[in-house]
């Protein structure tokens, strides 16, 4: 099969790395890809949100299957456009990707189908939002409705902080149109766990549980990022909690989407909080998480191409998906200054000294004259497996130790703050 993966980060490198191991995949392409993805797939210079360009290229080059990984092209309807052109595509259609693209939609869905989540109200008028905050008091959570690169959420500890967040979104247009509607939520407490699941519109099959680290600095300090590291499985996710999540969240969500005429095919990401009242949904994403995908796919034994086809064909219920025992950890090496301002273009040294038992997924690199240089905020995701979480974490740090570039930054506590 000729397969195209859309996207160009660490998640897409992990997807390509796993697909390249499938005997079914004879030709593998990635658009736009990045320096490191070039090790396993041919990179095609088409932007991930260029729907027309992508469909045209896929058609002209007779792709048998396209995997759409990032949120933007999913929300823009890339899967719909590929299907309309007669190309099989993995990922939700736009009418299902809305579960991530609009928090107002996902909150209404959960309310209608009694899926546990934080109490909330949606506002399109600033004064009403401010009055509600005054009435509720702090702590309280303010969210931009639309996609905001994971940065549209303020967990406010004071009323003033919450009011400020509303003003930035609704008055100053900090997140553009994404912030013209805001969702204001009750603040939940408890450990966070993420569960990604494969879905074929009807059946939902959870992967191992996982956790990422969103803050830039050690001890969960500093600004929110796309994720500074991740590991799987999560020690917080016991078999009893898993059973409750399946019964009260995973299966009801798939059934709700189907009942709404928006069947969900692809990967659905459940961001969960294990509150004193049981597991509740913090957020849904309509795609693989980044960097959660890097450790997860490192633990997957089953052929990923088989799973993708089953999700598209509606045959997931007949599949036996297998995972390795033990644990995996991905340590993100980032540019100094990320997620604020940072320099690109530094040569990366030490890659050839990384032990062969680890995998270096490239998130933002360029290959120029045989040398990898930095080309983004998150640059590399060094990923290792182990018999248990502690060993996987230690091995990820050990494998990353030879890698250097000017101002390289990483957290030293990945996998160690899972109880917070
Ligand atoms: P989100 O982008 O919706 O996942 O939110 C980002 C982060 O904000 C989450 O990972 C949580 O740590 C926190 N968060 C979001 N909603 C709530 C809530 N209702 N209560 C407490 N924390 C929250
Ligand atoms: N790591 C969080 C996300 O992909 O949304």
Lowest mean pLDDT among 56-70, 159-173, 393-407: 159-173
Question: Which residue bears the tokens 């633990």?
Answer: 299
Q: Whose CA is nearest to atom 9 of ligand 1?
A: 282
State in Å: Cα 289 to ligand 2 middle: 4
191 lines ligand 1 (CB under 6 A): no
At residue 172, the pLDDT reads 81
- Ligand 2 atom, smallest distance to 227 CA: 1
Q: Whose CA is nearest to atom 5 of ligand 2?
A: 289
At residue 419, the pLDDT reads 47
At residue 412, the pLDDT reads 97
For residues 164-172, average pLDDT: 90
pTM of the predicted protein model: 0.94
At residue 191, the pLDDT reads 93
In this predicted structure, the answer to whether residue 82 has a pLDDT above a threshold of 60 is yes
Task: Express as a percent the part of the chain with pLDDT over 70.
Answer: 97
> Which residues face 272 on adjacent strands?
193, 281
- Select from 227, 271, 283 the residue to mutate for testing ligand 2; criterion: most ligand atoms less than 8 Å from CB: 227
At residue 148, the pLDDT reads 62
At residue 417, the pLDDT reads 59
In this predicted structure, the answer to whether residue 309 has a pLDDT above a threshold of 80 is yes
For residues 108-127, average pLDDT: 96
227 lines ligand 2 (CB under 6 A): yes
pLDDT band of 150, cuts 50, 70, 90: low
pLDDT tens figures, 171-222: 887 777 766 789 999 999 999 999 999 999 999 999 999 999 999 999 999 9
Q: Whose CA is nearest to atom 13 of ligand 1?
A: 155
100 lines ligand 1 (CB under 6 A): no
pLDDT band of 305, cuts 50, 70, 90: very high
146 against 112, higher pLDDT: 112
13 against 171, higher pLDDT: 13
278 lines ligand 1 (CB under 6 A): no
At residue 173, the pLDDT reads 74
State in Å: Cα 290 to ligand 2 middle: 5
The whole-angstrom separation of Cα 273 and Cα 376 is 30
pLDDT tens figures, 225-261: 999 999 999 999 999 999 999 999 999 999 999 999 9
In this predicted structure, the answer to whether residue 263 has a pLDDT above a threshold of 80 is yes
SS (H, E, C) the chain: CEEEEEECCHHHHHHHHHHCCCCCCCEEEEEECCCCHHHCCEECCCCCCCHHHHHHHHHHCCCCEEEECCHHHHHCCHHHHHHHCCCEEECCCHHHHHHHHCHHHHHHHHHHCCCCECCEEEECCHHHHHHHHHHHCCCEEEEECCCCCCCCEEEECCHHHHHHHHHHHHCCCCCHHHHCCEEEEECCCCCEEEEEEEEECCCEEEEEEEEECCEEEHHHEEEECCCCEEEECCCCCCHHHHHHHHHHHHHHHHHHHHHCCCCCEEEEEEEEEEECCEEEEEEEECCCCCCCHHHHHHHECCCHHHHHHHHHHCCHHHCCCCECCCEEEEEEEEECCCCCCCCCCCECECHHHCCCCCEEEECCEEEECCEEEECCCEEEEEEEEECCHHHHHHHHHHHHCCCECCCEECCCCCCCCCCC
The whole-angstrom separation of Cα 339 and Cα 216 is 7
Average confidence score pLDDT of the chain: 95
């Amino acid at each position: 099969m000729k397969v195209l993966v859309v996207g160009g980060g660490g998640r897409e490198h992990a997807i390509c790395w796993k697909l390249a191991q499938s005997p079914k995949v004879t030709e593998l392409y990635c658009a736009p890809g990045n320096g490191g993805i070039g090790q396993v797939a041919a990179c095609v210079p088409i932007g991930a949100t260029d729907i027309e360009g992508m469909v045209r290229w896929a058609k002209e080059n007779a792709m048998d299957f396209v995997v759409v990984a990032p949120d933007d092209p999913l929300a823009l309807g890339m899967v719909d456009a590929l299907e309309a052109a007669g190309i099989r595509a993995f990922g939700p259609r736009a009418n299902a990707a809305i579960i991530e693209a609009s928090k107002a939609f996902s909150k209404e869905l959960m309310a209608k189908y009694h899926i546990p989540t934080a109490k909330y109200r949606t506002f399109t008028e600033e004064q009403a939002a401010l009055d509600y905050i005054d009435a509720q008091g702090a702590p309280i959570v303010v969210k931009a409705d639309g996609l905001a690169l994971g940065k549209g959420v303020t967990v406010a500890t004071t009323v003033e902080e919450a009011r400020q967040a509303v003003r930035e979104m609704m008055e100053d247009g900090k997140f553009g149109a994404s912030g013209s509607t805001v969702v204001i939520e009750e603040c939940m407490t408890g450990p966070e766990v993420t569960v990604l699941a494969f879905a074929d519109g009807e059946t939902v099959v959870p992967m191992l549980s996982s956790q990422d680290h969103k803050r830039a600095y050690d001890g969960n300090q500093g600004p929110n990022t796309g994720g500074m590291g991740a590991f799987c499985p999560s020690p917080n996710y016991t078999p009893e909690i898993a059973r409750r999540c399946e019964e009260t969240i995973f299966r009801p969500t798939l059934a709700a989407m189907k009942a709404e005429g928006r069947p969900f095919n692809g990967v659905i990401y459940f961001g969960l909080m294990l509150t004193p009242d049981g597991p509740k949904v913090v957020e849904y994403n309509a795609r693989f998480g980044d960097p959660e995908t890097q450790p997860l796919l490192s633990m997957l034994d089953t052929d990923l191409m088989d799973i993708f086809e089953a999700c598209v064909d509606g045959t997931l219920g007949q599949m036996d998906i297998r995972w390795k025992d033990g644990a995996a950890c991905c340590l993100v090496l980032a540019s100094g200054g990320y997620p604020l301002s940072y320099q690109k273009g530094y040569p990366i040294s030490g890659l050839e000294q990384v032990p062969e038992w680890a995998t270096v997924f490239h998130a933002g690199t360029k290959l120029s004259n045989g040398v990898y240089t930095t080309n983004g905020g998150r640059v590399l995701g060094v990923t290792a497996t182990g018999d248990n979480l502690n060993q996987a974490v230690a091995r990820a740090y050990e494998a990353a130790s030879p890698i250097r570039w000017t101002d390289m930054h990483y957290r030293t506590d990945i996998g160690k703050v899972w109880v917070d």
